[in-house]
């Protein structure tokens, strides 16, 4: 996400606007989704917004966040107007954050929206508004009941945005999206993990919360279990995320009870509209903006609200937004100026980051971002990397090290894999880094027990830190990769079962058979994820 070396671009180089409201969750998630961050750009005196700059797959992204503690339509309007004036090349506006869901109720909501799901303002039927200002309109009677005919129907994505969404949807249906990889970018931060379906509680609409004034807002309200709606388990998510298309309701007033939620939905609902979510920012945005609302569901728009799901929902919305940007055609504003193909990798050499510090303290978030850039340059359209593609990404005199590291990481029985996916590619790149760029003793990589820290644990979960085996045998010759315990290659079960990690020398060592069998059994039972959702 962030590197010590940052490039600077002009305002006209930015084509994607990412707009969020909450600094401690939505903004943090947005920055984690950037491949790299850029230097700030001098602003006009009339533009008081605070921006963060970066890029995703070569598309320059400006992240704008509303004033702290002031979400709502007024803040959104005051942010978007100077944003559009300052960045005149913007082609896509993404409003990314959390929202309150409209749960599945026969005759009202046709989608099984659950906490942690993502709602996208993109109706199934052409011509229907993606966002409706529910408290802006006039009432009329239709078929004997009151209905709201909104005056402000806006923020429907334009043709350009719909083209990108359609491509993403096709890849989602064929399970080619990478939402789970995007979510793992948040592993090192507290509160972004999946809270568990046992904490996804939907109470009956006529049952109000009796513990709304409790001190701990990050735990369930503790209301009567007998008042919960009976629901079956939701379908398993594809690639770690479930999203729904439909209409989003936006207003200047906070909706905090299930009765109000349902009354508003009853007036909005017709045969084609599917209101799925409530939020408060879109109502203040200028009509005509080619924008898309992306909302992670953190509550059910009722009185039983708590903050347990807030960060996770912000993360799922950010993961969807990143995947969307990955589907934007390169012709829609390529970010990068021409640079040497080895520039980013060389930037982690001794001249910049590797100055007489222990190896495990050198790898910061910036290192992961650099490795991601190398992977993105080498992969094919299915996310696979070949040895030859990886060798081309490094200096010629590193070719031998690349080949050796590839063989050491990819040995399965007596053969070597010809292609690797995301996690294993990052592991190979890390080994090349140690072999080619480091001169210290590569065997001494033991991390003192209990001193990992959040940053290092995040690194280990992302693609692995090479440490000595944690089995009972102190003389065990194996290096153990913490990532094997936390889903290094979630979609590469066979490879993960057989990955063999050795010291960084030419001597072959047998993998501890008992450890291998235990690891293999774990991967078999969990389809590659020891901590399944």
Say how far apart CA 385 and CA 420 lie, in whole Å.
5
pLDDT tier, 26 (very low <50, low <70, confident <90, very high otherwise): very high
Summarised one tens digit per residue, pLDDT across range 307-357 is 889 999 999 999 999 999 999 997 655 444 433 322 332 222 222 222 223
Summarised one tens digit per residue, pLDDT across range 373-418 is 778 888 887 778 899 999 988 878 778 878 877 876 665 434 556 8
- Short-list 516, 159, 170, 523, CA closest to 323: 170
**CB-side neighbour CA atoms (13 Å) of 324:** 30
Summarised one tens digit per residue, pLDDT across range 250-270 is 877 778 788 888 888 777 765
Q: Where in the chain is the domain with CATH 3.40.50.1580?
A: 11-326
Say how far apart CA 423 and CA 487 lie, in whole Å.
9
Through-space distance between the first and last CA atoms of the chain, rounded to whole angstroms: 25
Higher pLDDT, 229 or 212: 229
Q: Are 285 and 78 in contact (CB under 8 A)?
A: no
Q: Are 241 and 313 in contact (CB under 8 A)?
A: no
pLDDT tier, 480 (very low <50, low <70, confident <90, very high otherwise): very low
Say how far apart CA 348 and CA 350 lie, in whole Å.
7
pLDDT tier, 36 (very low <50, low <70, confident <90, very high otherwise): confident
Summarised one tens digit per residue, pLDDT across range 159-180 is 899 999 999 999 999 888 989 8
Q: Are 232 and 108 in contact (CB under 8 A)?
A: no
Higher pLDDT, 32 or 513: 32
Least confident of 75-84, 504-513, 514-523: 504-513
pLDDT tier, 518 (very low <50, low <70, confident <90, very high otherwise): very low
Q: Which of 6-15, 459-468, 497-506 has the highest mean pLDDT?
A: 6-15
pLDDT at position 181: 84
Does residue 232 register a pLDDT over 70?
yes
Does residue 203 register a pLDDT over 60?
yes
- Short-list 230, 273, 276, CA closest to 112: 276
**Stretch 73-99: mean pLDDT:** 86
pLDDT tier, 149 (very low <50, low <70, confident <90, very high otherwise): low
Q: Say yes or no: domain 11-326 is CATH 3.40.50.1580.
A: yes
Which tokens go with 180? 């789970």
Phi, psi dihedrals of residue 316, rounded to the nearest 5°: -65, -40
* DSSP string across 303-350: TT--STTHHHHHHHHHHHHHHHHHTS-TTS---PPP--TTHHHHTTST
Phi, psi dihedrals of residue 498, rounded to the nearest 5°: -115, 10
pLDDT tier, 302 (very low <50, low <70, confident <90, very high otherwise): confident
The mean pLDDT of the chain is 69
Helix/strand/coil percentages in the chain, nearest 5: 35, 20, 50
**Stretch 208-225: mean pLDDT:** 67
């Amino acid at each position: 996400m962030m590197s010590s070396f940052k490039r600077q671009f002009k305002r006209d180089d930015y084509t994607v606007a990412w707009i969020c409201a909450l600094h401690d969750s939505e903004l943090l998630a947005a920055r984690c989704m950037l491949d790299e961050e850029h230097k700030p750009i001098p602003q006009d005196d009339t533009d008081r917004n605070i921006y963060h700059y970066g890029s995703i797959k070569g598309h320059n992204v400006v992240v704008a966040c509303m004033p702290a503690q002031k979400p709502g339509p007024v803040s959104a309007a005051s942010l978007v107007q100077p944003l559009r004036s300052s960045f005149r090349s913007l082609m896509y506006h993404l409003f990314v954050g959390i929202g309150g869901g409209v749960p599945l109720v026969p005759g009202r909501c046709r989608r099984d929206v659950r906490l942690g799901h993502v709602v996208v303002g993109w109706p199934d039927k052409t011509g229907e508004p993606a966002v409706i200002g529910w408290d802006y309109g006039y009432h009329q009677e239709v078929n004997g009941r009151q209905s709201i005919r909104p005056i402000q129907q806006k923020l429907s994505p334009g043709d350009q945005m719909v083209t990108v969404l359609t491509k993403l949807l096709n890849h989602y249906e064929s399970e080619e999206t990478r939402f789970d990889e995007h979510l793992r970018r948040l592993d090192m931060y507290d509160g972004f993990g999946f809270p568990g379906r046992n904490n996804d509680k939907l109470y009956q609409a006529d049952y109000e919360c009796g513990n709304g004034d409790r001190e701990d807002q990050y735990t369930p309200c503790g209301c009567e279990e007998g008042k919960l709606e009976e629901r079956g388990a939701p379908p398993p998510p594809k690639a770690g995320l479930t999203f729904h298309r439909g209409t989003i309701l936006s207003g200047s007033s906070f909706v905090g009870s299930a009765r109000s939620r349902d009354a508003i939905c009853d007036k909005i609902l017709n045969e084609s509209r599917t209101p799925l979510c409530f939020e408060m920012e879109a109502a203040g945005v200028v009509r005509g903006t080619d924008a898309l609302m992306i909302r992670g569901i953190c509550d059910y728009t009722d009185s039983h609200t708590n903050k347990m799901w807030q960060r996770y929902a912000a993360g799922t919305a950010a993961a969807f937004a990143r995947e969307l940007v990955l589907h934007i055609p390169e012709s829609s504003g390529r970010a990068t100026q021409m640079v040497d193909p080895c520039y980013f990798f060389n930037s982690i050499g001794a001249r910049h980051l590797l100055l007489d510090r222990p190896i495990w303290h050198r790898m910061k978030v910036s290192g992961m971002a650099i490795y991601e850039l190398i992977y993105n340059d080498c992969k094919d359209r299915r996310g696979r990397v070949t040895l030859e593609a990886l060798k081309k990404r490094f200096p010629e005199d590193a070719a031998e090290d690349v080949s050796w590291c590839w063989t050491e990481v990819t040995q399965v029985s007596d053969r070597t894999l010809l292609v690797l996916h995301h996690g294993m590619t990052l592991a190979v790149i890390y080994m090349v880094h140690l072999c080619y760029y480091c001169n210290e003793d590569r065997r001494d990589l033991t991390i003192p027990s209990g001193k990992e820290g959040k940053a290092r644990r995040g690194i280990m979960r992302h693609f692995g830190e090479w440490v000595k085996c944690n089995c009972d045998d102190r003389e065990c010759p194996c290096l153990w990769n913490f990532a094997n315990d936390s889903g290094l290659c979630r979609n590469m079960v066979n490879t993960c079962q057989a990955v063999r990690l050795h010291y960084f020398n030419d001597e072959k060592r047998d993998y501890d058979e008992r450890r291998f069998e235990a690891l293999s059994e774990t991967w078999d039972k969990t389809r590659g994820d020891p901590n399944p959702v």
